[in-house]
Structure 1
């Protein structure tokens, strides 16, 4: 049985932290618990999740500070599987550096910061705003990583940002939120080519790692070229398994996704699988 660290899990609790984005996702429940996550993979004999990284849930602005504090508390509880958290910081706020220094630099369970850049209301070049760049640099000063969650067309800006902040480690979320259907559509070759170039450019930077997650299908034949491209580009030491539970449930189950990852990675051998599913997360997130 493969032991697993899931590097991207959300525990949704709309009753505690308003999640406005869920209003447009009727296929997703507004609440999910650690028990729901546990139950989603129990009962099968191919893998076992030992630890998870909890990623901020894009709560409404007035709830973000409470959400950060809540999940830091959860991660500190030895009875939970949560071993680290990605918190939210307003990265274009002039006070961001002060927040990092006063609230997070001495919190060992705070592994990273995520500021979602793929929302339609965010400017494509927001991450290159001088304030954003300086705050990302500040994260590196304290060993806190930046979770890069961008639209595919904005990945070139992530390359620029990572070059401007060489002392900060970046974790690319969801392989750049790539659309898997493009690989089955000859008319979208330009999209595929652009994504592959951006992934290669990101992988060429030593401060970039990649979470393999976020696709809307678990069809091995459909998604294997995308997964394999990331495996080849980033190499065996800079890729991590992630589920994006429960958001993944809009299209696929946790088990279907994980089984697909097991099947696709199997041809690379057990050592690769151990790194991908477990060891790399320990190293990258300092667990």
Structure 2
């Protein structure tokens, strides 16, 4: 299945708990070890697909500056883009090696409504002016807030992680995701912490334009309750060998040559 298919994974992480402080890893068992691009490539090789590389997404490190430095020192050509961390505002610092920015909105320390604060909206406007995309990871119960926030800056490219963490297919969730799908620069990743729900995947597939839907694994976090192989097979069953989904849309979203 998918043998020879060219794949760009738009959401993977790397870390080394021996040198990085990652408080959220406590209690995560097998995730508490060093993970590298070579490890990820080996898993794709076992699937028989042609792994071209992927998009590194920040890991909520206690020291984002250290994380940016480690990424700068890592010259692996399979790291095709880097979404690093900053706090969104019109005067936000942006790491020089960042393709785009993620401010985690799903963590316990983030108050509800952060995305609707004026400084956040003005930061999105500044990012749009400079062509810097925003990587969105939100709590699923706040999809309506996300639609309201990003609807104010439709020119900003926003890339939604993990199917928006949709909690269900309630009318409220559907309406919010459809509003996001209607934004001209909004992309969505088919990934998650748990095995993806096929019903939610099919809803998102039908709601978003086909050229704005991205394959992503969320590796190695996907190993908490599933595996990369199981995730890939489930997604392949829905999308088939769609080169746009598995490769081309990622190039467009992240400016990958």
Please say whether Structure 1 and Structure 2 have the same fold, judged by a TM-score greater than 0.5: yes
What is the correspondence of 1:272-287 to structure 2 with a 5 Å cutoff? Answer: 273-287=242-256
CA distance in 2 between counterparts of 1:133 and 1:122 reads 16
Identify which of 84, 87, 108 aligns with 1:87.
Answer: 84
Correspondence 1:192 to 2:170 = yes
Give matches, 1:38-117, under 5 Å. Answer: 38-45=41-48, 47-60=49-62, 63-74=63-74, 77=75, 79-91=76-88, 95-96=91-92, 99-100=93-94, 103-104=95-96, 107=97, 110-117=98-105
State the match for 1:36 in structure 2: 39
Aligned residue for 1:3? 6
SS of the residue 2:101 aligns to? strand
Q: Does structure 2 conserve the Cα–Cα contact (< 8 Å) formed by 1:162 and 1:207?
A: no
In 2: Cα distance, 1:215 partner to 1:23 partner:
16
Does 2:28 correspond to 1:25? yes
Structure 1 or 2: more helix by fraction: 1
Backbone CA RMSD of aligned residues:
1.8
Alignment size in residue pairs = 253
The alignment partner of 1:231 has SS state of: helix
TM, length-normalised to structure 2: 0.92
- The match for 2:211 is 237
* Residue ranges of structure 2 left out of the alignment (5+ in a row): none
| CA–CA distance in structure 1, aligned partners of residues 244 and 67 of structure 2 | 31
Answer yes or no: is 1:134 the counterpart of 2:136: no
Alpha-carbon shift at residue 66 of structure 1 (Å): 1.6
Per the normalisation by structure 1, the TM-score is 0.83
Q: Measured at CA, do residues 20 and 138 of structure 1 come closer, stay the same or move farther in structure 2, by a change above 3 Å?
A: same
Report the Cα offset of residue 73 of structure 1.
Answer: 3.6
